């Protein structure tokens, strides 16, 4: 089997020749640039420029020699873009490592901190001195301006997670941008047999919380449900229009489309199943089924952090194919329980190694044991793509990264 066949077999709940592996196939299976530079040195690989494609999280673009070394079976669509040196600018990571960042980002240093500005000179994100990534600093709809509905796209563009995208951003959905999207996607498809992951987003709850502020939005779901429904209706309309354009351009070249909504917390879901059914489920179903209508055979993947056990049946009913990152340290997210109850209907894309304790603080042997135990639970019958629970953080020892991927690559069901 080649990589694409391996991934698609597991989506069909068939056991492939080995468990598919994801390293940097999307924005939650990657590695912080500080850790990546250290990993390359540990592996004795040639020194290369470090490209930080996700500036907010400071994730590195993992080079092909590392993907090959660890048997990666998926790549993100963005690899087909930002190929011109002018697309990148010089920057320096918090530990002093030189790197390249997308040239459209334009961070500004202020009193020792790094800041990103919005269209009206407001600070929309900040990386405080001594920290390792950017944090949201502004919530554009927190004051509920009267013209919010009419200017929704403008206000969303003041949210750092929307504004500072990843390649193929900043290509837009105008005719020129769509033509470039289609051409880049085709070229990537022709260059690899790995499964191609197209990151779309389509966030609903997340964008409400990032626009109004989390506490305001959650309270409004109870106190002002009509206002929340109006916001979510307009947001869904915007996403549907963008999804049509996105998949018309790149749909023929991708295998998986990524949506995102962090519905969970450490202790369980952020909202009850009843509230999920009222506010989000119908809109998720519209988006996910529209993707499948536009591109039959396309697999729908949801990045959703936290403990969402009680919501999983509703996610499946709404049309979900794969759940990520399978945060197994959260309430209700025990691997055996998830596999037993939902393994026939859902692909678990993640949960392959604990990134909270074991990967950063364990020994290489403890990492290997954790990987083996989890793969023995998740892999039978297909329906599992290996990745650690979330991104590899800056403090993870490189020998633990190597132990994790080597164990995953060697495992056979």
CB atoms within 10 A of CB 339: 21
- Is the N-terminal amide bond of 170 cis, ω within 30° of 0? yes
Domain borders along the chain are: 3-47+64-81+141-410
**Model pTM score:** 0.96
Backbone angles phi, psi at 331, to 5 degrees: -55, 130
DSSP state of 252: G
Q: pLDDT tens across 95-147, in order?
A: 999 999 999 999 999 999 999 999 999 999 999 999 999 999 999 999 865 55
Q: Alpha-carbon distance 263 to 371, whole Å?
A: 26
Q: Are 289 and 247 a contacting pair, CB within 8 Å?
A: no
Which among 54, 62, 56, 55 has a CA at the least distance from the CA of 36?
A: 62
Looking at residue 63, what is its pLDDT?
A: 97
3-class DSSP state for residue 58? coil
- Tell me which of 3.40.50.150, 2.60.40.10, 3.90.740.10, 3.20.20.210 is the CATH number of domain 3-47+64-81+141-410: 3.20.20.210
Q: Alpha-carbon distance 189 to 195, whole Å?
A: 9
Q: pLDDT tens across 329-388, in order?
A: 999 999 999 999 999 999 999 999 999 999 999 999 999 999 999 999 999 999 999 999
């Amino acid at each position: 089997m080649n990589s694409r066949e391996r991934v698609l077999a597991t989506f069909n709940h068939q056991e492939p020749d080995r468990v598919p592996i994801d390293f940097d196939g999307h924005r939650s299976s990657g590695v912080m640039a500080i850790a990546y530079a250290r990993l390359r040195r540990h592996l004795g690989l040639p020194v290369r420029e470090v490209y930080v494609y996700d500036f907010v999280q400071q994730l590195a673009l993992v080079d092909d020699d590392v993907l090959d070394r660890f048997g990666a079976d998926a790549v993100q669509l963005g690899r087909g873009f930002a190929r011109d040196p002018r697309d990148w600018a010089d920057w320096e990571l918090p530990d002093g490592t030189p790197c390249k960042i997308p040239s459209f980002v334009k961070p500004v240093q202020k009193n020792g901190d790094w800041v990103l500005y919005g269209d009206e000179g407001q600070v929309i994100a900040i990386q405080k001195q001594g920290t390792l990534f950017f944090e949201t600093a502004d919530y554009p709809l927190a004051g509920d301006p009267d013209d919010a509905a009419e200017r929704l796209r403008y206000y969303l563009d003041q949210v750092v997670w929307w504004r500072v995208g990843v390649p193929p951003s900043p290509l837009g959905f105008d005719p020129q941008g769509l033509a470039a999207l289609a051409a880049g996607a085709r070229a990537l498809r022709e260059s690899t047999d790995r499964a191609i992951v197209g990151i779309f987003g389509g966030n609903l709850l997340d964008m409400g919380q990032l626009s109004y502020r989390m506490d305001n939005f959650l309270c409004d779901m109870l106190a002002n449900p009509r206002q929340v429904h109006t916001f979510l209706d307009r947001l869904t309309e915007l996403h549907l229009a963008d999804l049509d354009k996105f998949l018309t351009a790149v749909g023929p070249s991708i295998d998986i489309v990524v949506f995102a909504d962090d519905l969970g917390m450490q202790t369980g879901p952020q909202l009850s199943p009843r509230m999920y059914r009222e506010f989000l489920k119908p809109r998720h179903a519209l988006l996910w089924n529209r993707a499948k209508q536009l591109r039959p055979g396309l697999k729908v993947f949801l990045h959703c952090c936290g403990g969402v056990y009680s919501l999983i049946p509703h996610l499946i009913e709404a049309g979900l194919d794969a759940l990520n990152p399978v945060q197994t340290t959260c309430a209700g997210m025990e691997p055996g329980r998830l596999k037993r109850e939902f393994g026939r209907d859902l692909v678990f894309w993640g949960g392959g190694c604990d990134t909270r304790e074991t990967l950063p603080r364990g020994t290489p042997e403890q990492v290997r044991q954790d990987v083996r135990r989890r793969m023995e639970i998740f892999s039978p019958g297909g329906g599992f793509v290996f990745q650690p629970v979330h991104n590899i953080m800056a403090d993870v020892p490189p020998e633990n990264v190597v132990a994790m991927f080597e164990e995953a690559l060697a495992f056979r069901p």
